[in-house]
Chain A
């Protein structure tokens, strides 16, 4: 049975929370 992601798991996929892109030139 597939488990549903919780709300925070979904929210944390936002590009706005991925600060790694600051380091991509």
Chain B
């Protein structure tokens, strides 16, 4: 196992100790190692440098590297916490941790707020929501008249922007999602419960002596 370990660290510069990553997240050591199998495959799909760049991330999401998508870009930026333009293994595990079924709801709400606060102003503003809505319409087959888009925005801000100052703050967002729990569905990935069975090859590449379950 020793030769695997040193080789893996050379090839994956941001690779952190799976035992430490497991201690910081809802994942077991085995699950962290299974996630590494997924990470290896995504991070080698375009440039085999042990890091995930935006093109590789979009390729993994859409199975088509030509697809540009503002939502995928936004998720990538939130995974790339060190703002390096690439996602290392530690970033990958800690960001996916928020999507674990056992992760605290507070963390999911925080992440979703940042997702929609595209400008990072600390508020979800109407122009941001409009931009995302228009992007969604371009991406889907859905065709809506401009007036309908405005009516949807009016209705959304009437419900979410309780103090009616034209923007949604964190407290208003927490209140809004508690009234609309379906909005948090995208923040939980049931797949994360089964990653050791999805990527069973992790047992051959394990760096730890005993696989915790």
Contact = CB atoms under 8 A, between A and B. Distances in A.
Interface of A: 4-23, 25
Contacts of A7: 129, 132-133, 152-153, 156
23 contacts: A4-B151, A6-B152, A6-B156, A7-B132, A7-B133, A8-B180, A9-B182, A10-B152, A11-B71, A11-B132, A13-B140, A14-B140, A16-B69, A17-B71, A17-B186, A19-B61, A19-B75, A19-B96, A19-B189, A21-B62, A22-B42, A23-B198, A25-B198
A16 B72 contact: yes
Contacts of B38: 22-23
A16 B70 CA distance: 8
Contacts of B66: none
B60 A14 contact: no
* Interface size, B (range): 35 or more
Q: Is the interface of B mostly helix, strand, loop or mixed?
A: helix
Interface string B136-160: 1001101000000001110110011
A12 B139 contact: no
Contacts of B21: none
A14 B159 CA distance: 22
Which of A8, A10, A18 has the most chain B CB atoms inside 10 A of its CB?
Answer: A8
Contacts of B51: none
Which of B74, B160, B191 has the most chain A CB atoms inside 10 A of its CB?
Answer: B191
A15 B62 contact: yes
Interface string B197-211: 010000000000000
Nearest to A25: B198
A15 B69 contact: yes
A23 B152 contact: no
Contacts of A16: 61-62, 69-75, 139
Given A10-B133, A14-B69, A19-B75, 11 more contacts: A4-B152, A4-B155, A7-B129, A9-B180, A13-B136, A16-B69, A16-B74, A20-B191, A23-B38, A23-B195, A25-B198
